[in-house]
Chain A
Amino acid sequence: MIQGQAGTSIGEPNAVAMLFFFAFISITLGITWWAARRTRTTEQFYAAGRTVSAGQNGFALAGDYMSAASFLGIAGLVSTTGFDGLIYSTGWLVGWPVVLFLIAEPLRNLGRYTFSDVVAIRLRQTPVRLAAALGTLATVTLYLIAQMVGAGGLIRLMFGLSYETAIVLVGMVMIGYVLFGGMIATTWVQIVKAFLLMSGALLLALLVLLRFGLNPAALFAEAARQYGAGVLVPGKLVSNPLDAISLGIALMFGTAGLPHILMRFYTVPDARAARASVFVATGLIGLFYLLTFVLGFGAMVLVGPDTIRAVDPGGNMAAPLLAELLGGTPFLGFIAAVAFATILAVVAGLTLSGAAALSHDLWVSVVRAGHADPREQLLVARVATLALGVVAVALGITFKGQNVAFMVSLAFAIAASANFPALILSIFWRGYTTAGAVTSMVLGTVLTLVLIYLSPTLQVDILHHDSAWFPLKNPALITVPLSFAAGIVVSLLAPEPAAAVGYDALERRMHLGGDH
């Protein structure tokens, strides 16, 4: 066991952590009970009755997006590698302006519950819904595996629970939120989590900076004094610029294709509120990533990379160790509970968006051809939630001990290659056709999966082969342009007059809203 090593109480039962943990669970389950009585229609279940304010949705978007990987992972990466970790801090933010400029408002005006509502609007329902569900479920599943495996490991490290117990616990609480409280409960879980995460990170950064006269440059200078000036400049991470650009494409355009993020735009009353909510979310997420600069270098200087790696070779415990050093066991407890809340909230958002793809896109739109009565729709949505929750737990246990960190960037690559091109072309281009959309989405999903299998990430790092057939760690540089090209070429080869006629109504509704 790791307890006691390096003089930390991480992994031992921590009364304060338990207290915060149970407080968070009680408050969020209370919210779920309150939300459950307001969840009687599919519009309430998927879209919180479209009554979430722009500010609330801004916090909820931030809560949905900032995973434990960004909080613990980036702080750990900066604390052990210095500047190279900061490349991730910037990369995870740059997708948000793109979401605002290109996606948020058209999506809100054109769709109801899922992004495939928008792609399918003037095209033939069945093929488009099937292809879109493929992209959505691939993205959600990979994201869920990464979150669940990360959750099991983190909770084991922090609370000393067994991996399986941790996974089952996360699964049960998350199913409780989504099954009974739907989007209303999920939204408030995200808001509470975003608030806790921001205050935890702000407080931790403030405690670090107080030791350096509130001057970040003094902190960086101390890091350079202890570990050499190399920690303040680019190191080995970006040895291959094509790799860095490919990852950058996945992050920048994948954010605009993440189903659980896109779904949140349906919870606000109109397109203006959708727009304002991205502005709020970008500010919160940007501030958070700026804080990771301070947290990472703070952990490097005050805790030390060797101590951090001794507790967890991946560096994930940098922020909790820093909290223990600066605020003692109670602050460690608070940060541990925040990390747990972070995991729960992201998993809940993912499960809800996956359930919407299964029930709204596949069952209601394809199997029932749009003619399911409201009670049946809600029932199917809940059955899908339960099924996905059980699958998430099973996946978490199946992938125990596997290196799954790459799955998050893979999920971004699929979102960027399958969902984003289809969404952009369907709202931007009159000539887009059913065949073009289906080709683009299926090719984007399948090609991304195939190329990641042939990439060094899997062949060299995980399967331990000497070389890989495909040179890039992330395939987005190839798959995103190919998916766009396939959608355009197939549409040009076989025009679909009915789809072009439908574009006039789409254009009108994109700007003036759904009532026209």
Chain B
Amino acid sequence: MRTLRELDAARWRVALGLTAVMVVLYFGFVLLVAYGREVLAVQVVPGLTLGILLGALVIVISWVLTWVYVRWAAAHYDPGVRALDRERTP
């Protein structure tokens, strides 16, 4: 049985980890826009530059990350909360 403290630590680890991924993802994109103009000008297919593709990917990956968190919480966090709840009200 996990304690509240362990549940709390697990949630913050996942939450801060995913926030760090977001920070790297978005500010990486901004820095690439600022310093990597030539890289972003590469055309993946005619018309679709790497810049437009990566911009779209930042949006899509952001959403996928929210899905990852929701899945994690349903699989690991919610059962922990329910177990602590039962413990409290026998």
Which residues of A approach B to under 8 Å, CB–CB?
83, 86-87, 89-91, 93-94, 96-98, 100-102, 216-224, 229, 232-234, 238, 241, 244-245, 248, 252, 272, 275-276, 278-279, 282-283, 286, 289-290, 293, 428, 507-508, 510-512, 516
Contact check, B88 vs A96: say whether CB atoms are below 8 A apart.
Answer: no
Minimal Cβ-Cβ distance residue in B for A83: B51
The CA-CA distance from A94 to B57 in the complex, in Å, is 12
Query: Least Cβ distance of B43 to chain A in Å?
Result: 8
Q: Which residues of B have CB within 8 Å of A216?
A: 47-48
Known: A87-B55, A511-B4. A275 touches B70 (CB 8 A): yes
Query: Least Cβ distance of B54 to chain A in Å?
Result: 9
Known: A224-B47, A232-B41, A233-B41. A97 touches B30 (CB 8 A): no
Contact check, B47 vs A218: say whether CB atoms are below 8 A apart.
Answer: yes
Q: Which of B36-90 contact A (CB under 8 A)?
A: 37, 40-41, 43, 45-49, 51-52, 55-56, 58-60, 62-63, 65-67, 69-70, 73, 78, 81, 84-85, 88
Known: A220-B48, A290-B56. A279 touches B41 (CB 8 A): no
Contact check, A86 vs B40: say whether CB atoms are below 8 A apart.
Answer: no
Which residues of B approach A to under 8 Å, CB–CB?
4, 7-8, 11-12, 14-16, 18-19, 22-23, 25-27, 29-31, 33-35, 37, 40-41, 43, 45-49, 51-52, 55-56, 58-60, 62-63, 65-67, 69-70, 73, 78, 81, 84-85, 88
Contact check, B18 vs A101: say whether CB atoms are below 8 A apart.
Answer: yes
The CA-CA distance from A510 to B25 in the complex, in Å, is 29
The CA-CA distance from A238 to B33 in the complex, in Å, is 7
18 more contacts with CB within 8 A, not counting A87-B55, A511-B11, are A86-B55, A94-B26, A94-B58, A102-B15, A102-B16, A217-B48, A220-B48, A220-B52, A241-B34, A248-B27, A252-B26, A275-B73, A286-B63, A507-B4, A508-B4, A511-B4, A511-B84, A512-B4
Contact check, A248 vs B45: say whether CB atoms are below 8 A apart.
Answer: no
Selected contact of A293 from candidates B12, B33, B52, B70, CB within 8 Å: B52
Known: A238-B30, A252-B23. A217 touches B45 (CB 8 A): yes
Contact check, A289 vs B59: say whether CB atoms are below 8 A apart.
Answer: yes
Q: Which residues of A have CB within 8 Å of B27?
A: 245, 248
Contact check, A221 vs B47: say whether CB atoms are below 8 A apart.
Answer: yes
Contact check, A97 vs B66: say whether CB atoms are below 8 A apart.
Answer: yes
Selected contact of A234 from candidates B25, B40, B47, CB within 8 Å: B40
12 A/B residue pairs, CB under 8 Å, sorted by A = A83-B49, A97-B22, A97-B66, A216-B47, A234-B37, A234-B40, A244-B34, A272-B78, A275-B69, A283-B66, A511-B11, A512-B4
Minimal Cβ-Cβ distance residue in B for A215: B47
Q: Which residues of B have CB within 8 Å of A276?
A: 70
The CA-CA distance from A22 to B73 in the complex, in Å, is 44
The CA-CA distance from A244 to B84 in the complex, in Å, is 45
Contact check, B59 vs A89: say whether CB atoms are below 8 A apart.
Answer: yes
Query: Least Cβ distance of A376 to chain B in Å?
Result: 35
Contact check, A94 vs B62: say whether CB atoms are below 8 A apart.
Answer: yes
Selected contact of A101 from candidates B7, B45, B69, B84, CB within 8 Å: B69
Known: A218-B47, A233-B49, A241-B31. A100 touches B69 (CB 8 A): yes
Contact check, A90 vs B41: say whether CB atoms are below 8 A apart.
Answer: no
Contact check, A512 vs B47: say whether CB atoms are below 8 A apart.
Answer: no
The CA-CA distance from A96 to B40 in the complex, in Å, is 25
